Chain A
Amino acid sequence: MMTVPKDLSDLVRHATEKKDVYAAAALHPWVNTAQRRLLEDLWGERRQALLLAQMEGTPATVLEQLFALNDASVDARLARHGNTAPVVLEKLFQRSQAGAQRQRLRRYLVANPATPHKVLLQWVETEQDLDVLKGLCANSGAEPEVLGLAAQRGIAALQTLLAVNLASNSAVLQHLWAGATEGIAAQILGHPQCPEVLLEAIPNTVLQRRKLAGNVRAPSPVLQALSTDQHWSVRRAAAGNAATAVALLTALSRDEAEAVRRAVAMRPDLPVTAAAWLAQDDDDWVRQVVARNAITAPEVLERLAQDAVMEVRRAVARNPACPAPLVAALAKDENEWVRAGVAYRADVPAQVLYQMEAGETSADVLSGIAQNAAASQHMLQRLVQHENPDVRRAVILNKMAPRALLQNILQDPYALHRGMVLRHPHLHDEDRWQLHQDPDPRVRFAVYGYFGRRLGMPKTPGTII
């Protein structure tokens, strides 16, 4: 039995004794300055610095330390990394004022959503490199002030990016509207921040009407008009718009275009009578969508459960409102994909699951059973040893899986499984610590990260580690 580390010093000792760069990186945010220095010695080589600067999940404190190396290639990776702190990005900006890699660094920095507002502000009015400006205009973390200044530069190549960027506000979009191409105008009409005044008129082009019909802020009279538009794509957008009045849905459910009926069949506020009508549609995709809709009446679902098309029957099996007798019947369906739909239901009775598992060979069905909280320990005992990795992985996802079964996963050949099982609440720390010397670096990173948080995070009631 391995002894679980009692404190951070113990963890640091383990990481340094093993010269484990991944363990060191995972622990770095949680330890004191002296301990950090010990850990930092482990990634002294450039190769390791490059690796950590690229690795997903590298903590911000490690990235900040890597900045001190003043290596152009490391800097480029830091500028792109999602965990690099704004303060480091600002320092990278200062560094980007000179040097051979200047433009490359700038392109990465302007596209990073965490780059501070004041840094972007310094660039937006004077930058001449079009690629840098494009990165800035596509940055979803940029503030409207920056995007507005970019819009005012009147560079055609930037207009589209600004119209698409969800961070653009109504003032930016209003500015873009004047002189916008058809495509840009359509994008503005579909934007969540589209100026209200633009939503009130019905545009001339199909593309613009389609984008407007999909905007949940479009006024009711506009949506009403668009729901009878000549072009099916506009009517489809209106049918899928949650703001379209329920009163219009019955008419849309009888639309000549399949695409419109498919969109309306999906709506959670679909009138029951419309659902019954759509359940008889010639298009099996329409029937499939209505079979998945929770508002569909039980007697309609019963009929759809007999459908010749497998996808329709599966949709009934996945419908949260599917009555219990129908669930039990679909559990015996000839098609494994339909049976799998049943196996994944949270409300499937244990007895039904038991019957399903007996003699079942489909990995899809067995995976559904394995992740189901109603699965018995006997079933899970068999499934945790299954040769198919998908089935074993499903056991890890079962919140009711007992510790004794999960311990089997600690020896699983798939590193992904060993990394996943660490997060299961039924596992004990003694179990987790068994993986601290795992051959896979991602698993060790996860183990040390877990214990670093566990021992380093201030204790507050209700904290989930």
Chain B
Amino acid sequence: MKILVTVKQVAAVDDDFEIRTDGRDVDPDFLIHDLNEWDNFSLEEAMKIKEAAGGEVEVVVVSVGPESVDEELRKCLAKGADRAIRVWDDSVEGSDPIAIARIIAAVAKNEAPDMLFAGVQASDHSYAATGIATASFLGWPHAAVVSLLNYTPGSKMATLQRELEGGTYAEVELECPAVLTIQLGINVPRYASLRGIKQAAAKPIDVLTPSALGLAATDVGEAGSLSRVRRMYVPAKGQAELIEGTPAEQVARLVKIIQEFKGV
């Protein structure tokens, strides 16, 4: 029994940053990297299934990215993942979520997991597409925004709860193997123990190239993508009102705005 968990190294910026000279992304000098928040929950869900099954489940984390991504994969290993796979070579540069999903699907075909978990979205680019596109390439059933999961390893069916608009939920039955995109709050992610972190530092990470997975150059990078970022920019300010004055004047203005909005 195996669960494949996709993870991403995401980037965050402070309030002052510069756009790259080509205008298509933030200057990497200003980026701070971390593991995508959603992926902490995906991994925890896989770990819960593994622990409940008494160790018969293998949890494999996979990411697409350069060597710096190893830092995030080691965090996953420190929390108890059994193996880590990273896919990269220069041809992957410029891949959109569809091309990334094609790579992950190729890994999934190699690994033949019983379940594939992905985060609902990544906190940096917010496509919310990779997980579902992977399901499409695999031809597997899928469910997005999963907020509760009942799944017994080896079972052909999983029951889950999907978070919908307006505070409603849908209870769904799904054939396995399946791709689930996991929502924040489905569990309480663990912190890695220091011992786990030290052990993870010595664990190997399997590094694969797209060609080793049977993908052609046209499957990845910009050639294998369906979208392309034309430019990234900070919109001009001026859409908000800065309330000025003494604290009392500010409160009075705020009350007036609230009343206007409420139609009082």
Q: A residues within 8 Å of B by Cβ? A: 45-47, 50-51, 54, 73, 76-77, 157, 160, 163-164, 181, 183-184, 186-187, 207, 211, 411-414, 418, 438-439
How many interface residues does B have (CB within 8 Å)?
A: 21
| Partner of A50 from B30, B195, B244 at Cβ < 8 Å | B30
Instruction: Report the separation of the CA atoms of residues A181 and B29 in the bound assembly, to the nearest whole angstrom.
Output: 47
A164 touches B190 (CB 8 A): no
CB distance from B25 to the nearest CB of A (A): 15
Whose C-beta in chain A lies nearest to the C-beta of B71?
Answer: A439
Residues on A with beta carbons closer than 8 Å to the beta carbon of B191: 413-414
Pick 22 A–B contacts, CB within 8 A, sort by A: A47-B29, A50-B29, A73-B16, A73-B18, A157-B244, A160-B246, A160-B249, A164-B247, A183-B245, A183-B252, A184-B246, A187-B246, A187-B247, A207-B248, A411-B195, A412-B194, A413-B190, A413-B193, A414-B191, A438-B194, A439-B194, A439-B197
Main secondary structure of the interface of A (DSSP, over half): helix
A186 touches B248 (CB 8 A): yes
Residues on A with beta carbons closer than 8 Å to the beta carbon of B252: 183
Given contacts A181-B249, A184-B246, 15 further A-B contacts (CB under 8 A): A45-B29, A46-B29, A47-B28, A50-B30, A51-B32, A54-B14, A73-B30, A77-B16, A160-B249, A164-B247, A183-B246, A187-B247, A211-B248, A411-B194, A413-B193
Q: Is B186 an interface residue (CB 8 A)?
A: no
Across chains A and B, the number of contacting residue pairs, with CB separation under 8 Å, is 50
Whose C-beta in chain A lies nearest to the C-beta of B249?
Answer: A183
Q: Is B176 an interface residue (CB 8 A)?
A: no
Instruction: Report the separation of the CA atoms of residues A412 and B196 in the bound assembly, to the nearest whole angstrom.
Output: 11
Among A183, A211, A438, max chain B CB count under 10 A is at A183
Residues on A with beta carbons closer than 8 Å to the beta carbon of B193: 411, 413
Q: Is B192 an interface residue (CB 8 A)?
A: yes
Whose C-beta in chain A lies nearest to the C-beta of B18?
Answer: A73
B246 touches A164 (CB 8 A): yes
Instruction: Report the separation of the CA atoms of residues A56 and B247 in the bound assembly, to the nearest whole angstrom.
Output: 29
B30 touches A163 (CB 8 A): no
CB distance from A410 to the nearest CB of B (A): 8
Instruction: Report the separation of the CA atoms of residues A388 and B204 in the bound assembly, to the nearest whole angstrom.
Output: 32
Residues on A with beta carbons closer than 8 Å to the beta carbon of B30: 47, 50, 73
Residues on A with beta carbons closer than 8 Å to the beta carbon of B248: 183, 186-187, 207, 211
